[in-house]
Amino acid sequence: MPTVWAVLLCNFEWSALFYYLISRGGLCVSKWKTIVSGIASGALVGIGGAVYLSCDNKYVGAVLFSVALISICYLGLYLFTGKIGFVAEEFKKSMLWQLPLGLLGNFIGATCLGYFISFAKPSLRQAAASACASKLENGFMQTLVLGAMCGVLMYIAVKIFKSGNNPIGIIFGIPVFILSGYEHSIADMFYFALANMLTLNYLIFITAVVLGNAVGAAAVALLVRLSVEKSIGNK
């Protein structure tokens, strides 16, 4: 009899029950899926950040960080920095409402993992605190520009991946933004949570990074769109 119950529990569609209860409560299932997907992405970015901080060799750490975005892309999860450029490129209204929900999910996932790692590996807390203190030395506009450059690289990396499930753009793009000192909003959410530095200065900083990521990704996406349309028009 216990075996029968075990089989039933293993085969039960718990996710279907979860979304059924949500829909019965008057909440939109698709919106909750975006948030849940965003949480998973945020946690994966946090794992990448933890690997980077754990490596004595920053070059090795930067390359290993790319495992996070590779996993996110292959699993089809929602990452704000990987989506914002395509909103500008495709101009789909259905994508607009996903942005704040996906970003919320990313924040929850990255922040929670930051606190978990802070508890489980206190040795990384000091490394994160040092890095975060250095980040806060930059002004708002400096941070925005650094965020924009990261946004450009994130869009290019995901764009190349979408061309045929090719991770080469991610493998090179992620180390480039890390080693260049560009700012990735979701990774920074993890770092500041790990360092226990969620202060007012953090909110100002992360706002600049989010805006920068969005501006950079959207700008290069629009340039790509215009160049493609112009090429088609010249044929």
Q: What is the per-residue pLDDT across 35-78, written as a single tens digit (0 to 9) for each?
A: 999 999 999 999 999 999 999 999 999 999 999 999 999 999 99
Is 43 inside any structural domain? yes
How many structural domains does the chain have?
A: 1
pLDDT value at 88 more than 90: no
Answer yes or no: is pLDDT of 16 > 70: no
Q: In whole angstroms, what is the distance from residue 187 CA to residue 158 CA?
A: 16
10 lies in a domain?
no
What is the pLDDT, as a whole number, of residue 6? 45
Q: Could you tell me if residue 18 is inside a domain?
A: no
- pTM across the whole model: 0.84
Distance CA 36, CA 98 (A): 12
What CATH number did the domain enclosing 119 receive? 1.20.1080.10
> What is the per-residue DSSP string for 39-105?
HHHHHHHHHHHHHHHH-SSHHHHHHHHHHHHHHHHHHT---HHHHHHHHHHH--HHHHTHHHHHHHH
Cβ contact 214:151 at 8 Å: yes
Flag whether pLDDT at 235 surpasses 60: no
Would 137 be classed as within a structural domain?
Answer: yes
Instruction: Identify whether 8 is part of a domain.
Output: no
The answer to the question of residue 17 being in a domain is no
Q: Is residue 193 part of a domain?
A: yes
The region, left, alpha or beta by phi > 0 then psi within -120 to 50, assigned to residue 57 is beta
| Spatial distance between the Cα atoms of 171 and 62, rounded to a whole number of angstroms | 9
- Whether residue 111 has pLDDT greater than 70: yes
Q: With respect to residue 3, please indicate whether it lies within any of the assigned structural domains.
A: no
* Domain that residue 111 falls in: 28-234
